[in-house]
Amino acid sequence: MSDIDRITQDALEAIAAAGTLDELDEVRVRVTGKRSELAGIQASMRDLDPEGRKALGQQLNAFRGTFQAAFDARHEALAAAALDAQLESERLDLTAPPRRLPPGRPHLLTQVEQEMLDVFVGMGYRVAEGPEAESGTYNFDLLNIEADHPARQEMDTIYVDGFDDVVLRTHTSPVQARVMTTQAPPIAVVCPGRTYRADAADATHSPVFSQVEGLVVAEGITMADLRGTLLEFSRRMFGADREIRLRPSFFPFTEPSAEVDVSFEGAGGNHGWLEILGSGMVDPNVLAFCGIDPDRYTGFAFGIGIERVAMLRHQVRDIRDLFDADARFLARF
């Protein structure tokens, strides 16, 4: 066997054995490169006589043809395999079901607050807001709650450290005072927001809760307007056949004051009354403190706990469920 035949056989075997395009290229360099045995043979041609040169030239040409054909065929096969592998690894299954995130939604408290505001906005009220860190002036003084008034202790006020006379508002009633000191009657506002008291959390108490405050001040406003408004509110929130009942109560900022119960019909003919809010006719002192003439104007006000409405409407038995952010609970609403 001539050297060229041996080189040809080696080369064909190496080409067949190359598993990747890189390996194939290494074969090419090894067999035909500058330092290959073949290059040495080619260089020796100039020492041959014309006859021998011609014979060797033909052998080399034949080798090149054979090598190139085998190389090209293998190259094509390996390139196709590489492309297949890449396509396979980058495959997108367009029929696979998408990974769905469960849709989000407003928290139950947000839903109920929005519904409550909608009812009042539908009656012509505007929405007003005030700060959660509030001065004692608005939270207490302008609302006729004096420094030594027992209501001030009952409210378990959280004071803000490092500030004189700043509290986390204990109710949304200070927003009434903010509205009355800046707007002239007629006034009809609802004031939603968070409120704070130094209460330990249990099934019916939370140190953070929320209220919607209502205030109407105009000429000739009476308790009948209050009653009609709260009856309409109760029916829109709890059902068209609800009745309400006003029970005498006391708040420093209203006179007279009333707690309002809404009727319910439970299972098995079981019926009764549930307290939903505090209300009353704005105390003339409060009007005067806020710069409104109590001889000309009267008004009513109310404060509704949003958690309480949400719990009554949706049979939530523990107020803490409204703050725990347990997805299983929240998904129910």
Q: Give the binding site for ligand DAH (CB under 6 A).
A: 171, 173, 213, 251, 253-254, 278-280, 301-303
Q: How far is the CB of 333 from ligand DAH (least distance, A)?
A: 25
Q: How far is the CB of 120 from ligand DAH (least distance, A)?
A: 13
Q: Specify the residue, 8 or 279, whose C-beta has the smaller distance to ligand DAH.
A: 279
Q: How far is the CB of 184 from ligand DAH (least distance, A)?
A: 20
Q: How far is the CB of 282 from ligand DAH (least distance, A)?
A: 7
CA–CA separation, 71 and 327 (whole Å): 63
Q: Specify the residue, 11 or 155, whose C-beta has the smaller distance to ligand DAH.
A: 155
Q: Which residue lies nearest ligand DAH, judged by its C-beta?
A: 303
Q: How far is the CB of 203 from ligand DAH (least distance, A)?
A: 19
Q: Specify the residue, 185 or 280, whose C-beta has the smaller distance to ligand DAH.
A: 280
Q: Specify the residue, 11 or 306, whose C-beta has the smaller distance to ligand DAH.
A: 306
Q: Specify the residue, 217 or 301, whose C-beta has the smaller distance to ligand DAH.
A: 301
Q: Specify the residue, 37 or 156, whose C-beta has the smaller distance to ligand DAH.
A: 156
Q: How far is the CB of 113 from ligand DAH (least distance, A)?
A: 16
Residue with tokens 């409407």: 313
31 neighbors 40 (Cβ within 8 angstroms): no
Q: Specify the residue, 229 or 254, whose C-beta has the smaller distance to ligand DAH.
A: 254
Q: How far is the CB of 208 from ligand DAH (least distance, A)?
A: 13
CA–CA separation, 324 and 162 (whole Å): 30
